[in-house]
Amino acid sequence: MASTGALERLRAGNQRAVLSLLAGEGPMSRADLVRASGLSRTTVSSLVAELIGAGQVIETDDRARPHKGGSGRPPVLVRLSAPTGGVAGVDVGHGHVRVAVADRAGTVLAEDHALVDVDAHGTEVLDRTAAMVRALAARSELSVEELQAVGMCIPAPLDRRSARIRTGIMPGWQGLLPGEELERRLGVPVHADNDANLGALAELHHGIARGRHDVIYLKVASGVGAGIILGGRLHRGASGIAGEIGHVQVGEDGHVCRCGNRGCLETMVSAARLLELLQPAYDTPLTMERLLALDVEGDAGVRRVLTDAGRTIGRAVADLANSLNPELVVVGGTLGGSPTLVEGLRGAIDRYAQPDTAAALDVVPGALGVRSAVVGAVALAIARVAAS
């Protein structure tokens, strides 16, 4: 028979599991907590009641959709209350740093961004990022010491075992451990992940994927990556690099990729490649902003190139969908705002995925735009605090 102490430790562990799910996933129904935790309905109901009584969890005015589209009254959602202290989210892109400081319920208190040459200047960027976190914490009337954790987005694959950037995408960061380096500068625990994973978390908790359980988030920008949500939780894979769809080989004789292979998907559809293809047809220099504007205006050349890019990406996504059977594909990143690219991607999925697989999924642009990575970084920080 289990001792009283063992039962207390088990219950405390179960409470932490529930808090971690709410921190990482955002508001959830009790039924969702049962499915995600593997605990019994009775145990979850009892734990939630205890956490509400302790002031750690509150019921919200929002309602969830019935599971798998069922009928009946939508279930009540519960979420974390707002404890003292705060967290920060850091989005390190290839050409920018964006920082947000938030309370532990995820409400952003202050946010700022700077345009910088990130890839070649790792140490300098980390110094500037730490200064931005300190300045925003002060603006939020928090000291850095009151920050409980920092979530950090890196635009490259990160090995979960070594915390190192896995490819030569960011030459100025070779030999650096991004999370550890920022943690040393701030004296606050820092948890790093890649941009597609954090974009997926952001759309799942705060964007267009809320309430969904099986989602592919595509970031289409300077590269192509995927964040994969399975059963309502982020799937990172054995070493943390699941979803590197941009490095699917689409042509053995294609361009050499920055990863060192030849013919990767992103060599054909990255933002830089599309601008390179289109520039000879235009008298003035093209930027990504201008390209997207021409798409909306109906420019024939731009729409042709974006349609082809969408179809090329969609062919790879169709294969992934056949394996994972998702209910939603969310297209984010710089090119996620292109309706033509999204339409081309949808068409390729309809053509190349199994008919039942294609019929079961929606393809939509992301709701959070350029803020998706920093919102996901805040969510990551909150989840790590809850799990500690």
DSSP 178: H
42 and 170 in a common domain:
no
288 and 216 in a common domain:
yes
pTM above 0.95, yes or no: no
Residue 287 has pLDDT above 60, yes or no: yes
Residue 216 has pLDDT above 60, yes or no: yes
Domain extent for 68: 4-80
Give residue for tokens 């896995």: 166
Coil, strand or helix at 270 = coil
Asked if 305 and 338 touch (Cβ cutoff 8 Å), the reply is no
120 and 41 in a common domain:
no
Cα Rg, the chain, nearest whole Å: 22
Distance CA 32, CA 296 (A): 39
43 and 19 in a common domain:
yes
Distance CA 369, CA 124 (A): 27
pLDDT digits (tens, 9 = 90+) for 217-248: 999 988 899 999 998 888 988 887 888 898 88
Residue scoring higher pLDDT (207 or 23): 207
- For residue 81, what are the CA distances in angstroms to 135, 207, 263, 268? 26, 20, 49, 46
Mean pLDDT for 311-338 is 94
Residue 204 within a domain: no
Mean pLDDT for 178-199 is 93
Give residue for tokens 């205006």: 297
Q: Tell which of 61, 80, 99 closes a domain.
A: 80
Which pLDDT value is given to residue 70? 52
pLDDT digits (tens, 9 = 90+) for 360-382: 999 999 999 889 999 999 989 98
Residue 143 has pLDDT above 90, yes or no: no
Residue 176 has pLDDT above 90, yes or no: no
Mean pLDDT for 198-206 is 91
Residue 131 has pLDDT above 90, yes or no: yes
Which pLDDT value is given to residue 66? 53
- The count of domains in the chain is 3
Q: Tell which of 80, 111, 130 closes a domain.
A: 80
Asked if 200 and 218 touch (Cβ cutoff 8 Å), the reply is no
355 and 217 in a common domain:
yes
CATH code, 63: 1.10.10.10
Q: Which amino acid is at 297?
A: E
218 and 268 in a common domain:
yes
> What are the tokens at 2?
């289990």
> What are the tokens at 264?
């990767």
DSSP 214: S
Residue 193 within a domain: yes
Give residue for tokens 């980390």: 126
Mean pLDDT for 27-53 is 89
Mean pLDDT of the chain, nearest integer:
88
